[in-house]
Structure 1
Amino acid sequence: MMYFYPQIPCSDNIKLSSSKNPTMKVHGIGNIKAEPNLALINLGVVTEDKDLENAQKENAIKSNAVLNQLYAMNISKNQISTASYTIEPHYDYVEGKQIFRGYKVSNILNVRTKELNKVGEIVDNAVKAGANIVNNIIFTIDNNTLYYNKALSLAVKDSIAKAINIGNTLGVKVQEIPFNIIELTTSSINEEIPTEKVYAASTTPIIPGQINVVARIEAIFNYC
């Protein structure tokens, strides 16, 4: 996102090197610490069989068992969505020859929950019910606009402080309101838990940490 502000000429008693004000480009960074309030769990069932129909049936049975287990944990249907459903033929290569091994059927689900203390339990119970793949767990903020806007404000203040410091070092006057600001970041923030941590113990200890909400801008200042 780009913002423009009207240019304000320097004072008449200051001599300019040209008819236009010289400019400086400064990057500003704002950082806010926030507690996550939403977990996104990506898990599912993968089955293999030489007969495609058998692979699909087995996958459907196990996937329904996983869903029923999630429902039993008071996870509603609107908290669960299908991330992907794929069917792939698999082959082995023996002495340079391609040999058909069977079909791989994958049904991957996205599970959303605000009960962060139950993430480990959700993963464990889903695995017990038949889930055999956990791709990732992401902790994020349900509505991050407020935090991001605070970080963005800090980024603007940071750019102004840097521009003034540069101006003081060079012995020039910096107009403190930038005439051009470019937003370099988006408001997407999360903390991803690597998959290998999911299998750390029989009762999976998954503990969300604080999230860094970072905003970065590029600001251009007049000076004279």
Structure 2
Amino acid sequence: MYEFVTRITITLLFVLLVYTLFFLGSTIRNSLKSYDSIGQEVLGQRTISLEAMGTAEVLPNIAETTMGIQSEAPTVAQAQEKNTRITNVLLRSLMEKGIAKDDIQTEQYTVYPVYDYTREEGRVLRGYEARQRVRIKIRDLDNTKHILALAGQVGVTSVGEISFTVDDTAVYLEEARTAALKNMVKKVKHIEESLGVKVQKVTDYEEFEYGNYPNPIFRTKAAGMEEFDAIGGSFPPTVEPGMSEVRLTVRATFSIQ
């Protein structure tokens, strides 16, 4: 009796093992079939990629420029003191002209030795030179010429290129985007008519600003700045911001039939 029960048990275990192996084999086979078929529909799908650009005219409302102060003295401390004195006069004058403290940024400060070279003695220490450059943001464009005129009044030794920007670009980006999408629709219709295909849903979409800059660039050089820098610029120069342009490119991939 005991042997009979043992044989029955072994038989049942064997049958269970066979079914288990069969089940695992079927699962693996189905998985392999599924793997083989992954991407077939995508690979067989017909697509087309198009690009379109839109632009928006911009009237700048902010001007930016830099002013530099260069001072030389026999010692480091004297060069720094001389430079700081002129810089403080400049900062005070800027704020008196309506420039906020937050719109003035020191972007360079250096002190280094200055040498003379003679045939007899070679390199001879002449003194030390301190240089400081500040970036200025002008929110009232009518005030730009008066800010630039400060250079010759307070002892500034250099004025950098002036650029015109827009504080909030969102509205102009939206305008450029709308224009770009309209141009995209025209391209889609042209493709359908020319190739005899039916453009369906969008499978991929991206947009980027002209030149791949992280932000739209609105820049206009003011004429005459080189001459202004050279002569000291004690008179108010004529500055016109003009019109600028923001460009946005959209790129889309469509499935076609």
TM range (shorter): 0.7 to 0.9
Count of equivalent residues = 205
Question: Residues 88 and 159 (structure 1 numbering): CA distance in 2 closer, same or farther, change over 3 Å?
Answer: farther
Q: Deviations over 1:110-153 (max 9, x none)?
A: 22222101211101113311111112212111111111122123
Work out the CA distance in 2 between the residues paired with 1:93 and 1:66: 34
Query: 1:113, 1:194 → 2: CA distance?
Result: 14
Distance 1:77-1:180 versus aligned 2 partners, 3 A rule: same
Q: Gapped runs of 5+ residues in structure 1? A: 1-17
Structure with the larger RCO, 1 or 2 (CA within 8 Å, 6+ apart): 1
More deviation, 59-68/178-187: 178-187
Residue number in structure 1 paired with 2:242: 209
Identify the range of structure 1 (36-45 vs 75-84) with the bigger mean alpha-carbon deviation. Answer: 75-84
- Contact kept in structure 2, 1:30 and 1:216, CA below 8 Å: yes
Structure 2 CA distance, aligned partners of 1:94 and 1:180?
Answer: 69
Percent identity of paired positions between Structure 1 and Structure 2: 26
8 Å contact kept, 2:59–2:242: yes
- Superposition TM-score, scaled by structure 1 size: 0.79
1:131 matches 2:181: no
Counterpart-to-counterpart distance in 1, 2:255 and 2:117: 66
Give the root-mean-square deviation of aligned CA atoms: 2.6
Larger mean CA deviation between 42-51 and 207-216 belongs to: 42-51
Q: Secondary structure at the match of 2:242?
A: coil
Instruction: Determine which of 51, 56, 65 is the counterpart of 2:80.
Output: 56
* Counterpart residue type for residue 208 of structure 2: L
CA drift at 1:20: 3.2
User: Partners of 1:166 and 1:90 in 2: how far apart?
Assistant: 67
Deviation at 1:198, TM superposition (A): 5.5
Higher strand residue share: 1
Distance 1:99 1:23, change over 3 A: farther
- TM-score w.r.t. length of structure 2: 0.70
